[in-house]
Chain A
């Protein structure tokens, strides 16, 4: 939430300043690029980059739907992208300007095309899953060392989560991610839009609500790393960042990430060019630059999210390639589900149920 608020406040005051042909305005997720990617692009092309960040799809969406954001390149998640494309927020991508497109993994691009027919408006930037991050030692201490950590049970079984409550349990503040996970745990279709299934999920979430310390979409990174909380329903790469921060701090906190055996949400963050982008040409140059095998490999090696760039795979660190939390096994892949695009009525009942779970009202 903290970044969310900064970006929300930023949204009110800080539309990017005037543009010359030499400027590219990028709006990306926080902590979502390698340290030197921008500098390399600037050196290679002579284009100045203004780089702003957000931590919620909702904030990005409000800007895209309001129009005149001033950004040339943004990174919505696939299900949000689909609705924004329907609203006319993005321009078609000119693939003749993207020679590096040959590097991309055709299977993943085809899956992503489910949200954007023919990948006409977007290219996969990175992808990941929504699973569970946990403090290995603190959880073992409370559940016993023999307890297998491989299931949504850790969060959604009231008896188990109750034992973890004292050391801090958090969830993303995103109903479209948490409610389907709850339905998945209950053995329902996570992509269901049936009101009864929403109700069942709401009931389950209400039953574990007393054990949840907070709902927030970025706070858990530092809290997990510092040992302030010990279980989080969160995004894969963010949990890996918590892991990296903890080991940098040498504070003795060891963080693990699992894709639960029941399945998990798989999402794609997509590079897209707003319809009113001041400098779409530079945006194409940047997309092509990112699709370079080495550049993408550097990004994955830094942020620990999977990419859709086949040519980059030989350059990705072995440790990352071998991690089933980042590149899941074939069996785990089969259980992943894709984000659902809800209509306005479904969105409203989901948000309402979410408020009810969080506040009891």
Chain B
């Protein structure tokens, strides 16, 4: 019974939609409503014809655009995850080590941005980063630059937007794992002659590994499929798989190929999830 509820959740919100997308990826595009041919047809003599079209998957291999876009998405996701981790770790550590009243306030501050719409916050970045924006005007006024910096519509703007947006998803799991750590372990390390730096690298960091893994996946997976941030902040040459999917679906009206792109993306993402599961299981066995 306890297991049944998550299983139903998985079925309704993941497996069924995925089955629909997968089925669509095996059909053929057409000018119709909806714009693809039905997979099963009964002809007049009552013969059932069943057409499976796997050509859409081969098509993705034909043109290196798709592989390039997948790789580009992975690269952006990886770099963003590393930056998030480097920025979030000291913050999470500071929150975990703060006394309990300050700690709640700091946690509140981490969560606070969620009270504003995500889209509005990304728009706010446009206002900050654009040519006549806050940042450029401030730097010009201070005399630090004499030409506005071109940040909008570059990959840099995309990284800023992604790291900003996903940072809380890294901080919270890190905090959770850091706050559970027993402080007496550090005292013991100090007693045995370890300097704070050594103690951090041999005690705190390894013990926070589950938090690092959870936070990294929470950032990495959604960023691979990110569409909104690169579309709003990125330049025309920021090519991520979400953009490719959009143009297959909307510009080419080719829902089957779009579904094939989505299916492949899911498979690419399932691999890290499986790795996490394995890591967790190994961890539990140790404990």
Chain A residues proximal to chain B, CB less than 8 Å? 1-2, 4-6, 8-9, 56, 58-59, 61-62, 64-67, 83, 86-89, 168, 173, 175, 212-215, 226-228, 275, 344, 347-348, 351-352, 354-355, 358-361
Min CB distance A32 to B, Å, is 20
Min CB distance B32 to A, Å, is 5
- Are B63 and A62 closer than 8 Å at their CB atoms? no
Q: Complex: how many Å from CA A6 to CA B227?
A: 12
Q: Does B250 contact A (CB under 8 A)?
A: yes
Q: Does B123 contact A (CB under 8 A)?
A: yes
- Are B68 and A361 closer than 8 Å at their CB atoms? yes
With beta carbons under 8 angstroms apart, the residue of A6, A62, A344 that contacts B119 is A6
Q: Complex: how many Å from CA A82 to CA B119?
A: 34
Chain A residue numbers with a CB within 8 Å of B69 are: 361
B244 — nearest CB in chain A belongs to which residue? Answer: A355
With beta carbons under 8 angstroms apart, the residue of A58, A86, A87, A355 that contacts B250 is A58
Chain A residue numbers with a CB within 8 Å of B31 are: 83, 86-87, 344
Q: Complex: how many Å from CA A16 to CA B254?
A: 25
Chain B residue numbers with a CB within 8 Å of A86 are: 31
With beta carbons under 8 angstroms apart, the residue of B65, B131, B153, B235 that contacts A355 is B65
Chain A residue numbers with a CB within 8 Å of B104 are: none
15 CB < 8 A contacts A-B: A5-B232, A8-B246, A9-B119, A9-B228, A64-B33, A87-B32, A87-B33, A214-B153, A214-B236, A226-B132, A344-B31, A347-B252, A348-B252, A355-B239, A361-B64
- Are B131 and A168 closer than 8 Å at their CB atoms? yes
Q: Complex: how many Å from CA A52 to CA B235?
A: 28
- Are A65 and B232 closer than 8 Å at their CB atoms? no
The 4 closest A-B pairs by CB, nearest first: A58-B250, A358-B236, A359-B239, A351-B251
Known contacts A1-B231, A2-B232, A67-B33; is A355 also within 8 Å of B249 by CB?
Answer: no
Min CB distance A180 to B, Å, is 15
Chain A residue numbers with a CB within 8 Å of B253 are: 61-62, 65, 344, 347
Q: Does B183 contact A (CB under 8 A)?
A: no
- Are A67 and B236 closer than 8 Å at their CB atoms? no
Q: Complex: how many Å from CA A227 to CA B130?
A: 12
Min CB distance A6 to B, Å, is 7
Q: Does B29 contact A (CB under 8 A)?
A: yes
Chain B residues proximal to chain A, CB less than 8 Å? 29, 31-35, 63-65, 68-69, 119, 123, 130-132, 153, 227-228, 231-232, 235-237, 239, 244, 246-247, 249-254
B247 — nearest CB in chain A belongs to which residue? Answer: A351
Q: Complex: how many Å from CA A352 to CA B59?
A: 13
Q: Complex: how many Å from CA A173 to CA B33?
A: 25
- 14 further A-B pairs in the complex, CB-CB below 8 A; given A214-B153, A228-B132: A5-B227, A5-B231, A58-B251, A61-B253, A67-B34, A87-B33, A88-B32, A89-B33, A215-B236, A226-B132, A344-B254, A352-B65, A359-B236, A359-B237
Chain B residue numbers with a CB within 8 Å of A358 are: 236-237
Q: Complex: how many Å from CA A351 to CA B228?
A: 20
Min CB distance B120 to A, Å, is 11
Chain A residue numbers with a CB within 8 Å of B252 are: 344, 347-348, 351
Q: Complex: how many Å from CA A61 to CA B249?
A: 10
- Give the one of B130, B251, B252 with max A CB within 10 A: B251
Min CB distance B79 to A, Å, is 18
Chain A residue numbers with a CB within 8 Å of B249 are: 62
Chain B residue numbers with a CB within 8 Å of A58 are: 250-251
- Are A65 and B254 closer than 8 Å at their CB atoms? no
Chain B residue numbers with a CB within 8 Å of A1 are: 231-232
Known contacts A1-B232, A66-B34, A87-B32; is A348 also within 8 Å of B250 by CB?
Answer: no
- Are B231 and A56 closer than 8 Å at their CB atoms? no
- Are A228 and B131 closer than 8 Å at their CB atoms? yes
- Give the one of A226, A347, A355 with max B CB within 10 A: A355
A348 — nearest CB in chain B belongs to which residue? Answer: B252
Known contacts A67-B33, A168-B131; is A361 also within 8 Å of B65 by CB?
Answer: yes
Known contacts A1-B232, A361-B239; is A59 also within 8 Å of B32 by CB?
Answer: no
A173 — nearest CB in chain B belongs to which residue? Answer: B236
Chain A residue numbers with a CB within 8 Å of B132 are: 226-228
Chain A residue numbers with a CB within 8 Å of B250 are: 56, 58-59, 61-62
A65 — nearest CB in chain B belongs to which residue? Answer: B35
Chain B residue numbers with a CB within 8 Å of A227 are: 132
Min CB distance B46 to A, Å, is 25
Chain A residue numbers with a CB within 8 Å of B130 are: 228
- Are B236 and A348 closer than 8 Å at their CB atoms? no
Q: Complex: how many Å from CA A2 to CA B229?
A: 10
Min CB distance B30 to A, Å, is 8
Min CB distance B133 to A, Å, is 9
Q: Complex: how many Å from CA A4 to CA B231?
A: 10
B35 — nearest CB in chain A belongs to which residue? Answer: A65
Q: Complex: how many Å from CA A173 to CA B231?
A: 12
Q: Complex: how many Å from CA A145 to CA B264?
A: 55
A215 — nearest CB in chain B belongs to which residue? Answer: B236
Chain B residue numbers with a CB within 8 Å of A66 are: 33-34
Min CB distance B1 to A, Å, is 32
Known contacts A5-B119, A227-B132, A228-B132; is A344 also within 8 Å of B29 by CB?
Answer: yes
Q: Complex: how many Å from CA A66 to CA B255?
A: 10
With beta carbons under 8 angstroms apart, the residue of A8, A348, A359 that contacts B254 is A348
Known contacts A6-B119, A361-B68; is A347 also within 8 Å of B32 by CB?
Answer: no
- Are A2 and B123 closer than 8 Å at their CB atoms? yes
Min CB distance A183 to B, Å, is 18
Known contacts A2-B232, A5-B231; is A355 also within 8 Å of B34 by CB?
Answer: no
